[in-house]
């Protein structure tokens, strides 16, 4: 086995690889850019080497620097993690030429399978069904139009060397094809330095099912139970599980066999994932093979109790597979949610900032793979994935409930994340029922907001949490005043009320409490429903609150300011205004309608770098017109005007770094404003 390896990555995956290395007695060398000098992965590693400035191209993607670092520190191998150089065949070749072991497949296998056109041909040759389409590179718009006629609409344009969902375009009719082809090719060329595109039928409401395989250098190949990754946004996964409800035993067996056959034919070694989609009639089609460890590998680890990174290391060191196919047994169900620095209400655009508070959940069947901690600074330079929460249970529902509880207790402040969004996803009735597809997010959360009203009971629970926080704190204040009052001969302060009115956004609850902090049990009526609540140790720590309601523990997160208490639970966020019954009756309570301020400006929705400005002073714009483009976290996003208006001044230029809410463009007059 290796004595020392270099990990050519950062964030949660670097930390995760280091963890296995340490249990196996392998020393690790981490690498870091200027902005990562205090990162968790650097701290977790035995050694660390500085590799350059923040931009990935000058640091984590700099092949020579990484190899040089590995050699200078006496490493025998390099683990690339995922993303960055993990699927770069040149890097794999250079590592081997330098006399090191690349912990992954051979350069040839990466090159062949990284090319989606070549991979499809290989899949066909082993008898795997592929999505009907034209599996050749398209040379022109004319060829695309002619080919589309044969395949039929809707169809999907894809980059041959794509990844991370980039460059793909759905085309519904011939009129869209020219634009789609051109824009996809531009994005593809920029992202992958390769302009080859191909086309396949767009499968409506597909489910994404994938097979993890492991192959050693002695010709053995095994597969793991399938994972389902249908919950996606921007063609990228955010919630994954294993096994899947979408397939039956014969399909499961066929997919596993096909994945192994494909790996054998490609001369594959190491960890890899064969991705399929299924259609609504349970047909399945090969999509692509990822020649690396996947982000979602922990769900496979949770159901098999195996360590895939350990397997990768053993295979790379030349050992045979630790287990044969018949020895790989799955137990129960596992689910994972990705916690990303992104704003679901702003098209999942990346967010940045410093994490000011951070506490992750713990418990039976709960695993958190995290690359950050309080004090970590999330920058525009890298992927937005901060952490993953993975849970295991005897069955799907138990795994899901544990995930919900864990997300309820996942506390991160300082920047906007998707934690409440993924929580809302796994609480959604269609997710609970297993009725999912890759369109789930679009269908059920357009603009990042749910279309369904959540169950009333969840709001009741939140009202209970809010009132207990208010009531107990108030009670403690009253108690602490009593001795003082007695000393100075004043009347003791009035006991706290037991009847309250809670006003939340779109809801109003009458709440009555019986019980007290001494007995630690309460009967709480919310309108006409009674709940039995226990506050065993009134665990209210770091803004997390744990209550036992009707016999079951529930975790809440909260923020409070005077009589406003904000509660986070199951993906819901409600700010309650709290009144005692008497205050409510006395106040001739006149709700003050706040009119949103209309600003004649366009503010920046996210931090990044301006790459294009498309408008100039004096220009008249219609709502939705593109104003400029901003690059942030490996993505270019177009910013459009939310109203009609005449441009007065453009305050930024290409090359300028901009921050969230910075004014980009000022308008002389605006009309047709849509209110948020």
User: Which of 288, 296, 301, 401 does the annotation list as catalytic?
Assistant: 288
Indicate which of ligand ADP, Mg ion, none lies near residue 36 (CB less than 5 to 8 Å, by partner kind): none
Count of residues engaged in binding Mg ion, rule: CB under 5 A: 1
User: Toward Mg ion, which CB reaches closer, 438 or 535?
Assistant: 438
Of the pair 289, 352, the CB lying nearest Mg ion is at: 289
The answer to whether the Cα torsion of 476, 482, 487, 492 is positive or negative is positive
* Among 72, 74, 70, 52, residue whose Cα is nearest residue 62: 52
Question: 149 φ, ψ to 5°?
Answer: -55, -40
DSSP-assigned letters across all residues of 447-469? GGS-SSPPPHHHHHHHHHHHHHH
Rounded least distance, CB 524 to ligand ADP, Å: 43
**Shortest spacing between CB 79 and ligand ADP, in angstroms:** 15
CB atoms within 10 A of CB 362: 10
- Minimum CB–partner distance for residue 199 and Mg ion (Å): 17
Query: How far apart are CB 159 and ligand ADP at their closest, in Å?
Result: 8
Please check whether residue 464 is in contact with residue 513, taking contact to mean a CB–CB distance below 8 angstroms: no
Q: Which is nearer to ligand ADP, 262 or 547 (CB)?
A: 262
Contact residues: ligand ADP, CB under 6 A: 82-83, 131, 156, 162-165, 200, 202-203, 206, 208, 232, 235-237, 275, 277, 287-288, 290, 294-295, 383, 385, 438, 634
Active site (annotated) includes residue 646: no
165 interface partner picked from Mg ion, ligand ADP, none, CB below 5 to 8 A per type: ligand ADP
Tell me which of Mg ion, ligand ADP, none is bound by residue 322, counting a contact when its beta carbon lies within the kind-specific cut-off of 5 to 8 angstroms: none
Nearest CB to ligand ADP, comparing residues 83 and 361:
83
143 SS3 class? helix
| 474 class by beta-carbon count within 10 Å (0-12 exposed, 13-18 middle, 19+ buried) | middle
Using CA atoms, how far apart are residues 16 and 136, in angstroms rounded to an integer? 38
Q: What is the C-alpha separation between 628 and 214, in angstroms, rounded?
A: 45
Shorter beta-carbon distance to ligand ADP: residue 403 or 464: 403
CA atoms in the 13 A half-sphere facing the CB of 267: 7
- Contact (CB, 8 A) for 604 and 659: yes
Give the residue at shortest CB distance from Mg ion: 275
Residue 545: name its binding partner from Mg ion, ligand ADP, none (Cβ under 5 to 8 Å by kind). Answer: none
Quote the tokens at residue 194. 């390769």
Q: Which letter does DSSP use for residue 320 in this model?
A: P
Looking at residues 269 to 298 of the shown chain, list those that interact with Mg ion (rule: CB under 5 A): 275
As a whole number of angstroms, the distance between CA 542 and CA 606 comes to 28
Which residues touch 645 (CB under 8 Å, ≥6 apart)?
A: 600, 620, 621, 667, 668, 669, 670, 671
Question: Residue 70 has which token pair?
Answer: 């590995």
Q: Of ligand ADP, Mg ion, none, which one does residue 277 interact with (CB within 5 to 8 Å by kind)?
A: ligand ADP
Q: What token pair was written down for 99?
A: 């006399």
Contacts of Mg ion in 531-590 (CB under 5 A): none
Which lies closer to ligand ADP via its Cβ, residue 210 or residue 420? 210
Closest distance between Mg ion and the C-beta of residue 232, in Å?
A: 10
Compute the least distance from the CB of residue 288 to Mg ion, in Å: 5
What residue 375 binds from ligand ADP, Mg ion, none (CB within 5 to 8 A, per partner kind)?
A: none
Active site residues: 288
Q: Which residues form the interface with Mg ion (CB under 5 A)?
A: 275
């Amino acid at each position: 086995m290796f004595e020392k390896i270099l990990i050519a990555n950062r964030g949660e995956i670097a930390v995760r690889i280091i963890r296995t290395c340490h249990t196996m007695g392998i020393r690790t060398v981490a690498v870091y850019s200027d902005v990562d000098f205090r990162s968790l992965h650097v701290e977790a590693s035995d050694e660390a080497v500085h590799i350059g400035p923040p931009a990935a191209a000058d640091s984590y993607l700099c092949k020579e620097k990484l190899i040089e670092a590995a050699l200078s520190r006496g490493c025998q191998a390099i683990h690339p993690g995922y993303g960055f150089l993990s699927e770069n065949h040149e890097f794999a070749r250079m590592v081997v030429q330098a006399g090191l072991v690349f912990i992954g497949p051979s350069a040839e296998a990466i090159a062949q399978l990284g090319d989606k056109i070549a991979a499809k041909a290989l899949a066909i040759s082993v008898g795997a069904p592929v999505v009907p389409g034209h599996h050749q590179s398209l040379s022109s718009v004319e060829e695309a139009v002619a080919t589309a006629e044969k395949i039929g609409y809707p169809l999907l344009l894809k980059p041959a060397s794509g990844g991370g969902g980039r460059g793909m375009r759905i085309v519904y009719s011939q009129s869209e094809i020219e634009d789609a082809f051109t824009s996809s090719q531009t994005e593809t060329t920029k992202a992958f330095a390769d302009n080859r595109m191909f086309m396949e039928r767009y499968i409506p409401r597909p489910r994404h099912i994938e097979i993890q395989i492991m192959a050693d250098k002695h010709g053995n190949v095994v597969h793991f139970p399938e994972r389902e990754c249908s919950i996606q946004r921007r063609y990228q996964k955010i919630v994954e599980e294993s096994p899947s409800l979408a397939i039956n035993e014969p399909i499961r067996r066929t997919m596993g066999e096909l994945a192994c056959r494909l790996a054998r034919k490609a001369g594959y070694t190491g960890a890899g994932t064969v991705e399929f989609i299924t259609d609504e009639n349970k047909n399945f089609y090969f999509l692509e093979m990822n020649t690396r460890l996947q982000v979602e590998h922990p769900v496979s680890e949770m159901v098999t109790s195996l360590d895939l990174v350990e397997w990768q290391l053993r295979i790379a060191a030349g050992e045979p597979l630790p287990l044969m196919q018949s020895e790989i047994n799955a137990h129960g169900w596992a689910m994972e949610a990705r916690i990303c620095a992104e704003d679901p209400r702003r098209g999942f655009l990346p967010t940045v900032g410093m994490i000011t508070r951070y506490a992750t959940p713990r418990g039976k069947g709960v695993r958190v793979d995290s690359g950050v901690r309080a004090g970590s600074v999330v920058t525009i330079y890298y992927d937005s994935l901060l952490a993953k929460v993975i849970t295991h249970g005897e069955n799907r529902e138990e795994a899901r409930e544990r995930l919900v509880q864990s997300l309820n207790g996942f506390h991160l402040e300082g920047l906007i994340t998707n934690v409440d969004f993924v929580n809302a996803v796994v609480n959604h009735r269609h997710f609970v029922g297993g009725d999912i597809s890759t369109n789930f997010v679009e269908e059920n959360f357009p603009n990042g907001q749910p279309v369904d009203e959540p169950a009333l009971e969840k709001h009741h629970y939140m009202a209970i949490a809010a009132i207990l926080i208010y009531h107990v704190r108030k009670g403690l204040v009253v108690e602490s005043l009593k001795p003082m009052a007695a000393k100075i001969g004043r009347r003791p302060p009035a006991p706290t009320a037991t009847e309250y009115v809670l006003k939340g956004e779109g809801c109003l609850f009458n709440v009555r409490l019986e019980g007290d902090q001494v007995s630690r049990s309460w009967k709480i009526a919310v309108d006409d429903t009674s709940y039995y609540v226990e506050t065993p140790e009134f665990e209210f720590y770091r803004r997390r609150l744990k209550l036992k309601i009707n016999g079951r523990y529930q975790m809440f997160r909260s923020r409070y300011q005077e009589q406003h208490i904000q509660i986070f639970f199951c993906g819901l966020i409600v700010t309650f205004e709290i009144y005692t019954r008497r205050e409510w009756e006395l106040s001739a309570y006149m709700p003050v309608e706040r009119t949103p301020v209309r600003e004649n400006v366009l503010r920046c929705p996210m931090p990044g770098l301006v790459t294009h400005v498309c408008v100039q002073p004096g220009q008249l714009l219609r709502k939705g017109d593109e104003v400029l483009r901003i690059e942030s976290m490996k993505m270019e996003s177009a910013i459009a005007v939310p109203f009609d208006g005449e441009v007065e001044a453009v305050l930024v230029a290409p090359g300028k770094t901009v921050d969230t809410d910075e004014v980009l463009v000022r308008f002389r007059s605006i009309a047709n404003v849509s209110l948020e």
